[in-house]
Amino acid sequence: IQKGYTGAFTIDQLKKAAETARIKGEEVRARLKELAAKNG
């Protein structure tokens, strides 16, 4: 484990990463809904 590794990210970078992940999650859910509608 590298010392100071967690300090490599700023709060702002973590917020941006979380927002990006949230958006991707919404896209995935939308795709799954589309597939369910086609199959269903």
Question: Confidence class of residue 40 from pLDDT cuts 50, 70 and 90?
Answer: confident
As a whole number of Å, the CA-based R_g of the chain is 17
Given this model, what pLDDT does residue 29 score? 96
Higher pLDDT, 37 or 4: 37
| Cut 0.75: pTM above it | no
**What are the CA-CA distances from residue 24 to residues 4, 15, 30, 32 (Å)?**
29, 14, 10, 12
What is the pLDDT, as a whole number, of residue 3?
Answer: 62
What integer pLDDT is reported at residue 10 of this predicted model?
A: 86
pLDDT tens by residue, 1-34: 556 556 667 889 989 999 999 999 999 999 999 9
User: Can you read off the two tokens belonging to residue 13?
Assistant: 């970078």
HSE, side-chain direction, 13 A CA sphere, residue 20: 6
Please tell me whether residue 2 adopts helix, strand or coil conformation: coil
Residue whose C-alpha is closest to residue 29's, from 14, 37, 9:
37
